[in-house]
Amino acid sequence: MLGFFNLLLDSRLLKFPDSAKYWQIVIVPMEQKLQDLVGQPNVWLYLKSSGGWFKEVHILDVNSEVVTFRYEHESNDEKRLWEKTTRLENVAEVEIKLLAMPKDSKQIAQLKDQLSHLLE
């Protein structure tokens, strides 16, 4: 269990291949994981220095020391677009929203109808 916590402290993620017959643990450096996400939507970053999540970020650049990304912050009065550069070791977690489904059954029916028309 201690090794798992060391991986988190080293800002690394575990990656499990889908097609593996047996589970293999592949350590992916945070730099590589963030490079894979450059330009991808639905990325959330947890930064240690801020103690919180940055939602829907757009990763612009990653190198061996820092990551640069843009994010929006909205208040009651205005919406601001920020660009932030932070050290890689400051990124504690990365989450990617894969799918969002509406709870309303009417919206789900409309989505299914739209998808069925696309497949015809």
Q: State the residue range of the domain holding 88.
A: 30-119
- Does 3 map to a domain? no
Which among 59, 47, 14, 41 is positioned nearest to 100, based on CA atoms?
Answer: 41
Strand-by-strand arrangement of the 66-74 sheet: 79-87, 66-74, 52-62, 43-47, 91-96
> What total of structural domains would you count in the chain?
1
**CATH number for the domain harbouring residue 78:** 2.30.30
Structural domain includes residue 18: no
* Domain membership flag for residue 1: no
pLDDT in tens, 8-17: 434 444 455 5
36 within some domain = yes
Question: Does a structural domain hold residue 72?
Answer: yes
Inside any domain, residue 103: yes
Q: Is residue 20 part of a domain?
A: no
Long-range contacts of 2-11 (CB under 8 A, 24+ apart): 8/92, 11/88, 11/89, 11/91, 11/92
Is 108 within 8 Å of 63 (Cβ atoms)? no
For residue 43, give both structure tokens: 């990325």
pLDDT digits (tens, 9 = 90+) for 21-67: 555 566 778 899 999 999 998 899 999 999 999 999 999 999 999 99
Answer yes or no: is 42 within a domain: yes
Say whether pTM exceeds 0.75: no
